[in-house]
Amino acid sequence: MMIRVICILLPFLLGGLAQAADLDFVQEVRPVLSDSCYNCHGPDAKARKGKLRLDDRAAAFKSEVLTNDEMLKRLTSEDPDERMPPPDSKRVLSLKDRAKLVQWLKAGAKWPEDDRHWAFVPPGRSALPKIKNEAWVRNEIDSFILARLERKGWQPSPQTDKATLLRRVTFDLTGLPPTIEELDDFLNDDAPDAYEKAVDRLLQSSQYGEHMALGWMEASRYADTDGYQNDRLRYMWVWRDWLIKALNDNMPFDRFVTEQMAGDLLPDRNFYTQVATGYNRNHRINSEGGSIPDEWIVEYVADRVETMGTMFLGLTLTCSRCHDHKYDPVGQKDFYRLFAFFNNIAEAGLGPNNGNSPPFIKVPKSWPNLSEEESEFVVPDPPKVKVVQTSVPRPQPGAPDTVMVLHERSNPRPTYLLNRGLYDQPDKSEKLQPATPPVLGVWKKEWPKNRIGLSQWLLDPKHPLTARVTINRLWQHYFGMGLVKTSENFGVQGELPSHPALLDWLATEFVRRDWNIKAMHKLIVTSATYRQASEALTLHLEEDPENRLLAHGPRKRLSPYQIRDAALFNSGLLVEKIGGPSVKPYMPPRIWKSISNATYKQDKGEKLYRRSMYTYWRRTVPPPTMMTLNAAAREVCIVRNDQTTTPLQALTMMNNVTFVESARFLAERVMKTKGLSHSRRIAHAFRMVTSREPTPGETKRLLADLRFYLDDFRRRPEAAKQLLTVGEKKADPMLDAVTLASYALVANTILNLDEAIMQD
Amino acid sequence: MEAMEEFRIQQTRRAFLERSTLGLGSIALGSLLHGAEKPRNQIGGLEGFPHFAPKAKRVIYLFQSGGPSQMDLFDPKPHLADHFGEEVPESIYPAERKTTMTSGQASFPLAPSTFKFARHGASGIHLSNAMPHLAKVIDEVCVIKSMYTEAINHDPAATLFQTGSVIPGRPSMGAWASYGLGSVNADLPSFVALTSGTGGQPLYDRLWGAGFLPGRFQGVKFRGQGDPILDLYNPAGVTRAQRRRMLDALGELNAKQASRYNDPAIATRIAQYELAFRMQMSVPELIDFKSEPKSTLDLYGPEATKVGKYAYNCLLARRLAERGVRFIQLFHRGWDSHGGAPKQIAARCRDTDQATAGLLRDLKQRGMLEDTLVVWGGEFGRTVYCQGKLTRTNYGRDHHPNCFTYWMAGGGVKGGLSYGETDDYSVNVVDKPVHVHDLQATIMHQLGIDHERLTYRYQGRYFRLTDVHGKVVKDVLS
């Protein structure tokens, strides 16, 4: 194996030597310096060794190590006392990276004067690149993608077939598959704008808002409980309702963010904008008796800063909480200046024993259809902290008809830098005022130094990050991977964009189109890039296995929510009601009780079949089916999920009650379609799940299986009846149990196909 | 940019080629969506792991959730009997380390232990009479009386022990071990969590979670009710033959997809379905204790065959260990003795003492103790002062982070050693302090891992279990 690796790498290493003089500092050298050297020779003054810093051009040259051979000597020395990084630091500098630095130094250590990290320079709008195959291009996105492919000598893939395309775009925009009727309509529509019409229909559907809300909910760490120890109940679904509606109404992104960040402060504030601020209350709250309130207020405020960092700035601000950032130019003081924006909420350190934590407001019964009077801004009660159990300071709990919001205290809480991030170690020598890190763009004087101003800063057209980071997540939604793969980190340690000019073009286009989210969705899904067939050539697989160059369309696994929703949808079980409180579908026995003091009380009837975004989310015991399929845990902000394949997923897909019940009712659906032969029924079920007709070979195989199951269950009719009792919904007694159970197993097979849970 | 992209493509090509040579039995095959993974060896461990020859092939960690009382179990302070009810002065017990459950108390009266202590074994280690079974195997055990932590409440303290940080989001210890070392049994997960006990402090899935590591490294929780592993059993009425039939169809139809889309992830999915099918056999065999002779069951006590009890979990732990499971994490709830401590502590010892000692004996008689590291302890200790009303026979104790006791046995640890000392009040460590991160570094060391070199890059930073801390406690190693 090792030999093979060397064989592959050797030509590269040699090639690397030949073009050494071309090494680009920002793109190629600094990432290595950052990864291997900045821990001790970077922005963090306290951790700096030998007074040497390699993150600052002037300081690095002043030290002369770049030019006097000192660094070269340290990199090439075999003496453990000399060698850098020191062996006992346990930092690994690979052979090729070491060779890179050596070559850079030997070529004169070229370090441009403007060495700003690419992501801290506001996006510029470059001209569209020149391309050869102009006929392929449908919009600007395609020019950028094609130019890169052509440079490599590759061609894009042809458009995928219509059925696959409709399935792809329907899942991407609504989280659900197309119905057979929608498929047939589309296949029979030969008009040139047939696809665009379908896209418009999907963008207008209310399922669009539900589906798009999910990513935002995961990033906003939305849950139905507080998240620590006894994990007390909270009521935040009203915020989720607001979110779905805002997305369905296509609220411009700048307004969407501003309402969530500062809806309690806006001049035109009202009840709805107040509800929007629940975004910044979705963090965990500790209600464990014995906890020290001041300590936890710090955690809540820090969580808001960190979430904003990940979602809008694509930066790991967390690092700067305890010390200056090791890699990015964000100092510890910068962190606490951002902290100051969120440090003035009229909140309590401990949560109540169940219920919302102040500040919260009462939600009228008429929600979401409020009268004019009810739509007005409400002043929440201040926290009324009562000491219980000798010394536990608890606030008043908010009842189920309340929702948590932001509200400012009348006397501002002072903000200090906290040494090592600890609540009891403030540096009281300097009181810190709200401010943003200077490296991330200017702060205009006219902006108020509060969360309104903070939103204005985030959404300023010149801001280097917000639009890029948002567009990149949008791209990730469609292609399974962002143009910047590390969608959570645009900093020096993040990955470089695969198509930097495209990223910037999209970011500026987003601003140019007045932050119109649906317009950006439409731009992407109508591109030729998105419409490509997803079959990969062996050449692609070998040279670009992650499909970064997009020589073919995306092939990605459905999200856990989509997998469950699609199964319910195809079986006709899905209850498509929008919004409302969370529901409690099937769970394993004693799911909560076995490790906590709470009991899960499963719902009945239609609440078992709502979309998965409404499933009750207990943070310390999250829904296991969703977790098995790689949902985010909702503890902290997560914008990128891992997608590993495990045997537990197979067990869930085969045996979990929801999926077995779905198989039963998918079987009923096709059995009740009149006048169909066995093979037509199978084909019908197959098409509902995969959006395509099975091949004769596939039908034949499944038909043989059906006969096998029929024979089997005929010998064991009681077993057939047993299978039909899985799940609450009763089987239609008019149908023959043996036949129905046999079809259920075929449906179970179809729902477990790779194609059923993949988006091609 | 051009050169950079070419470089990256070379890198991913390398990762791809390496992964495609892995056997189908390996759990390590991931989808290419997150293709930044490091090269892995045949059992799915990282290249270069273990860093050195391990003393322990596996770990059984008996976590006693709630915080067992050190001065009622391991750390006798007999002279305190003469100071019953006297105020513990602030010079001894600092106010800022008191939780808000007791910091408002008008007085902090000293509560001497009601338990009797004696020396046991050739080593003469002190134990309270609540643990007569452990007393008989004490020469296998290294008692560390000088543990300390910063966390003062259950959730942060337990999260610190299991993940190295008080703030949720980091991988648990077992996930780290699986990530580094891979799995030697292709039919079972390499990290298993078992829970027992009711009431008292709740547990959280994150204590055996994968944090930011890929999800496949999370601990698989065995359940005390219903399917032992979530959705393990076929639905009612469905036979194994039917399932085989279905898997054959899936294999056939999915293979067609694989050749159409040229997607290596499909081969992984087919393999995982086959592994699931094998688990449907291996797990029921695993939890079937019929083959265990009475003499073995007797070691663990009368609850050895009661599903979901601590004793059952101890026996299951041994069976998992035999089958090559790398990290077995037990959690037993109910040690949080704020009130009625003497009764509660005695009850928890009745739940656990015989089975714990039985596990050590059983491992020993099979020759497995020498390469199995057994760890016992909770998230913190208890206060010497009384919480609530103090009487001669009853007291409560609040959380105490400054000193408490852990013990380890087997796996290259010195048996019959008492390590570290606390002050006269069991309030502070006075000799050989061992921090949570030190314990974690030591456990990793016994598995052949240098804790400073087991890192994972997340959000641009290299994270590790021990954060930037942790020293291997070499003194306790044989």
pTM of the model: 0.89
Rg (CA), chain B: 24
Which chain A residues are within 8 Å of B17, Cβ to Cβ?
4-5, 8
Whether residues B322 and B407 share a domain: the answer is yes
Whether residues B289 and B312 share a domain: the answer is no
> Is the residue at B380 inside a domain?
yes
| Distances in whole angstroms, Cα of residue A179 to Cα of each of A357, A601, A664 | 43, 33, 19
Does B339 touch chain A if contact means CB atoms closer than 8 Å?
no
> Is the residue at B1 inside a domain?
no
Tokens (6 digits) for A740:
């129905």
Of A117, A123, A124, the closest CA to residue A29 belongs to: A117
> Is the residue at B275 inside a domain?
yes
* DSSP track, A504-566: HHHHHHHHHTTT-HHHHHHHHHTSHHHHB--PPPHHHHHH-TT-TT-SS---EEPPHHHHHHH
**Residue-wise pLDDT tens digits, B304-357:** 999 999 999 999 999 999 999 999 999 999 999 999 999 999 999 999 999 999
CA dihedral angle for residue A706, residue A707, residue A708, residue A712, rounded to 10 degrees:
100
- Relative to beta strand B327-332, strand B220-222 is unpaired
Q: How high is the pLDDT of residue B17?
A: 34
Whether residues B235 and B363 share a domain: the answer is no
Residue in chain A lying closest to B211 (CA): A633
C-alpha span between A233 and A218 (Å, rounded): 18
What single-letter DSSP state applies at residue A62?
H
Instruction: For residue B250, give its domain range.
Output: 231-293
Buried b (16+ CB within 10 A) or exposed e, A624-633: bbbbbbbbbb
Residue in chain A lying closest to B186 (CA): A647
Calculate the CA B427 to chain-centre distance: 26
Whether residues B313 and B379 share a domain: the answer is yes
Burial of residue B259 (number of CB atoms within 10 Å: 0-12, 13-18, 19+): exposed
Length of chain A: 760
Calculate the CA A539 to chain-centre distance: 30
Which chain B residues are within 8 Å of A598, Cβ to Cβ?
202
- Are the beta carbons of A498 and A459 closer than 8 angstroms? no
- The owner of tokens 């395509």 is A692
C-alpha span between A68 and B11 (Å, rounded): 33
Angle ∠(B191,B196,B198) on CA atoms, nearest 5 = 145
Q: How high is the pLDDT of residue A3?
A: 39
Q: How high is the pLDDT of residue B37?
A: 59
- Are the beta carbons of A655 and B236 closer than 8 angstroms? no
Does B104 touch chain A if contact means CB atoms closer than 8 Å?
yes
- Are the beta carbons of A275 and A367 closer than 8 angstroms? no
* DSSP track, A622-640: --HHHHHTT---SSS----
Partners of residue B144 on adjacent β-strands:
B406, B419
The answer to whether the CB atoms of B206 and A620 lie below 8 A apart is yes
Which chain A residues are within 8 Å of B12, Cβ to Cβ?
544-546
**Residue-wise pLDDT tens digits, B360-412:** 999 999 999 999 999 999 999 999 999 999 999 999 999 999 999 999 999 99
Whether residues B312 and B449 share a domain: the answer is yes
- Number of domains chain B is built from: 2
Of B193, B121, B199, B164, the closest CA to residue B418 belongs to: B121
Whether residues B123 and B254 share a domain: the answer is no
Helices A517-525, A162-174: axis angle to 10 degrees equals: 160
Helix or strand or coil: residue B237?
A: coil
Nearest Cβ partner for A594 among B13, B223, B279? B223
The values of phi and psi at residue B270, to 5°, are -60, -45
Distance from CA of A343 to the nearest CA of B (A): 19
What single-letter DSSP state applies at residue B212?
T
Domain boundary, last residue among B250, B271, B293? B293
Of B211, B6, B168, B457, the closest CA to residue A486 belongs to: B457
Nearest Cβ partner for B254 among A491, A538, A753? A753
Which chain A residues are within 8 Å of B48, Cβ to Cβ?
none
Of A397, A370, A367, the closest CA to residue A237 belongs to: A367
- The owner of tokens 């105490």 is B400
Please count the CA atoms within 13 angstroms of the CA of B335 that sit on its side-chain side.
30
> Is the residue at B2 inside a domain?
no
Q: How high is the pLDDT of residue A679?
A: 96
> Is the residue at B337 inside a domain?
yes
Tokens (6 digits) for A274:
């107040």
Nearest Cβ partner for A748 among B1, B209, B246? B246
Q: How high is the pLDDT of residue A601?
A: 97
Give the amino acid at B344: Q
Domain boundary, last residue among B269, B293, B317? B293
Which chain A residues are within 8 Å of B21, Cβ to Cβ?
1
Whether residues B64 and B203 share a domain: the answer is yes
- Relative to beta strand A392-394, strand A386-388 is antiparallel
- Residue B344 belongs to domain with CATH number: 3.40.720.10
Of B384, B411, B433, B249, the closest CA to residue B328 belongs to: B411
The answer to whether the CB atoms of A712 and B241 lie below 8 A apart is yes
Whether residues B252 and B346 share a domain: the answer is no
Whether residues B286 and B316 share a domain: the answer is no
C-alpha span between A701 and A729 (Å, rounded): 29
- The owner of tokens 């890699």 is A327
Q: How high is the pLDDT of residue A204?
A: 98
Whether residues B440 and B337 share a domain: the answer is yes
Residue B45, Cβ neighbours under 10 Å: how many?
22
For residue A22, give every residue at least 6 positions away whose Cβ sits within 8 Å of its Cβ, in sequence order, or none: B3
Interface probe for A, chosen from B230, B263, B337, B398 (most Cβ of A below 10 Å), is B230
State ipTM.
0.89
For residue A343, give every residue at least 6 positions away whose Cβ sits within 8 Å of its Cβ, in sequence order, or none: A301, A413, A415
The answer to whether the CB atoms of B216 and A656 lie below 8 A apart is no
Question: End-to-end CA distance of chain B, in Å?
Answer: 54
> Is the residue at B300 inside a domain?
no
Whether residues B363 and B431 share a domain: the answer is yes
**Confidence category of residue B293, pLDDT binned at 50, 70, 90:** very high
Whether residues B129 and B256 share a domain: the answer is no
Residue in chain B lying closest to A746 (CA): B246
What single-letter DSSP state applies at residue B478?
-
- Are the beta carbons of A122 and A507 closer than 8 angstroms? no
Between these two residues, B36 and B347, which has the higher pLDDT value? B347
Q: How high is the pLDDT of residue A10?
A: 37
> Is the residue at B94 inside a domain?
yes
**Confidence category of residue B85, pLDDT binned at 50, 70, 90:** very high
Average pLDDT over residues B93-115: 87
Domain boundary, last residue among B242, B261, B293? B293
Which chain B residues are within 8 Å of A498, Cβ to Cβ?
5
Q: What percent of chain A has pLDDT over 90?
A: 79
C-alpha span between B301 and A83 (Å, rounded): 58
Identify the H or E element spanning B359. helix B341-365
Distance from CA of A648 to the nearest CA of B (A): 7
The values of phi and psi at residue B142, to 5°, are -110, 115
Task: Say how many CB pairs under 8 Å bridge A and B.
Answer: 324
For residue A84, give every residue at least 6 positions away whose Cβ sits within 8 Å of its Cβ, in sequence order, or none: A37, A71, A74, A75, A93
- Relative to beta strand B417-419, strand B141-148 is parallel
Helix or strand or coil: residue A36?
A: helix
Which segments in chain A show pLDDT lower than 70? 1-21
The answer to whether the CB atoms of B12 and A720 lie below 8 A apart is no
- Are the beta carbons of A628 and B230 closer than 8 angstroms? yes
> Is the residue at B157 inside a domain?
yes
| Distances in whole angstroms, Cα of residue A405 to Cα of each of A107, A277, A345 | 57, 5, 9
Does B262 touch chain A if contact means CB atoms closer than 8 Å?
yes
What single-letter DSSP state applies at residue A537?
P
- The owner of tokens 């902090």 is B108
